[in-house]
Amino acid sequence: MKLADLDIIVTAPPPGGWGGRYWIFVKVTTACGIVGWGEVYAAAVGPDAMQAVIRDVFERHCAGTSPEDIELMFRHVYSSGFTQRPDPTVMGAFSGIEMACWDILGKARERPVWAMLGGMMNSRIRAYTYLYPLDNHPLPDFWADADMAGEAASACLDQGFTAVKFDPAGPYTLRGGHQPAKSDIARSAAFCRAIRAAVGDKADLLFGTHGQFTTSGAIRLAKAIEPYDPMWFEEPIPPDNLLEYGEVARATSIPVATGERLTTLSEFSTVLRSGGARILQPALGRVGGIWQARKLAILAETYNAELAPHLYAGPIEWAANVQLAASIPNLLIAETIQTGGPFHRALIGDTIAFDEGYLIPPTGPGLGIEVDEALARAHPYTGNRLHLEMQEAPCDYKNVNVFGGGAAD
């Protein structure tokens, strides 16, 4: 059984969908005809250039190799170009191919991926979602309105969720860490107050920032939201300031979470050793795939740390997250997009059940999904922008700063 062929589909969710501007799916076929699916999350280049990277990684390191040789393929990619320090784009390319290998192996053995990772540990996976606007909520007003956020949180509670995430703290700017505007701090506290009032003690509050603040700025913000007892303070500083996470963690009672933009075990290890976070949020389409994330779970166990797989992507990464989450003992919670999202679900045959706030791992072979290839191809992305983009303008200390929740314009 050898890897023989690669196909790439770049799919754009229809208007009103969530999960980024587009999703990059990889379809890998063995010489004996078994098809595996994966998804690439990390891409710092446009979709056409990214496809070239994925093809190069496949042809250089994976074609003609057994899908069982995941560790060997990873070491080739990790060390390529005499680096042993791969960039996120190359690691993302391999991540999608790696997921496809697990899908192939499961199909060849007629077993789900979780069965090959240690077996079923969690038959029900606690899920959370970002707060998204309801039908009566206008955009972009929703992103800066605490009362609307409370209404959206109440709706999530009605759907069964026991945790909701939100990010009202300011702009998503490329200028690195900044001090939050006083108005951003006040709005963040107002969001926490309104959402806590809406959900009471029936749901946890997950506070996101997307790495926007300096160390001291993050600490100032944390002090303002501490009274509302969030379950975590997510990525409070830029992801390249790993040791500074420890300074933030020691200054607040809110658990610090991070990881969606980290790429290697070494990066996660630095955060753990510094005491910077005990909640890790790997994005499987960026971190090297399922096997590297499983190794991360083992590493986290030695620090009494938990995993909360990240998702702002398409349904194949979601399916990989579910397989990992089913198999690890130190799972905290897994991100989903609403209760799955209609387009996400349609693309994988509605194979991941959502039951009163929990995801139910599929029992089918491989990733347990049925990819609707025709539907994926029917919604191509034809532009050249990135999956997500940061604004150039700095924090506005006079007017309202708005982060649009990852909405693709």
Over the stretch 36-63, which tens digit does the pLDDT of each residue have?
A: 999 999 889 999 999 999 999 999 999 9
- pLDDT at residue number 86: 79
Q: Is residue 339 part of a domain?
A: yes
**What is the domain count for the chain?**
1
Binning pLDDT at 50, 70 and 90, where does residue 120 land? very high
Residue range 102-117: mean pLDDT, rounded: 98
Q: Is residue 344 part of a domain?
A: yes
Q: Is residue 90 part of a domain?
A: no
Domain range for 334: 116-367
Predicted confidence (pLDDT) at residue 242 exceeds the cutoff of 70: yes
Predicted confidence (pLDDT) at residue 97 exceeds the cutoff of 90: yes
* Residue pLDDT, tens place only, 198-225: 999 999 999 999 999 999 999 999 999 9
Q: Is residue 74 part of a domain?
A: no
Binning pLDDT at 50, 70 and 90, where does residue 66 land? very high
- pLDDT at residue number 379: 97
- pLDDT at residue number 402: 83
Residue range 319-338: mean pLDDT, rounded: 98
Q: Is residue 394 part of a domain?
A: no
Q: Is residue 162 part of a domain?
A: yes
- pLDDT at residue number 29: 98
Residue range 139-147: mean pLDDT, rounded: 94
Residue range 27-31: mean pLDDT, rounded: 98
Binning pLDDT at 50, 70 and 90, where does residue 32 land? very high
pTM check: above 0.85: yes
* Residue pLDDT, tens place only, 293-313: 999 999 999 999 999 999 999
Q: Is residue 277 part of a domain?
A: yes
- pLDDT at residue number 83: 87
Quick one: tokens of 357? Answer: 């706030």
- pLDDT at residue number 192: 98
Share of the chain above pLDDT 90, in %: 89
- pLDDT at residue number 409: 60
* Residue pLDDT, tens place only, 150-168: 999 999 999 999 999 999 9
Q: Is residue 48 part of a domain?
A: no
Contact 213, 237 (CB under 8 A): yes
Contact 116, 109 (CB under 8 A): yes
Predicted confidence (pLDDT) at residue 405 exceeds the cutoff of 70: no
Residue range 333-340: mean pLDDT, rounded: 96
- pLDDT at residue number 406: 63
Residue range 357-374: mean pLDDT, rounded: 98
Predicted confidence (pLDDT) at residue 25 exceeds the cutoff of 90: yes
Q: Residue 226: which CATH number?
A: 3.20.20.120
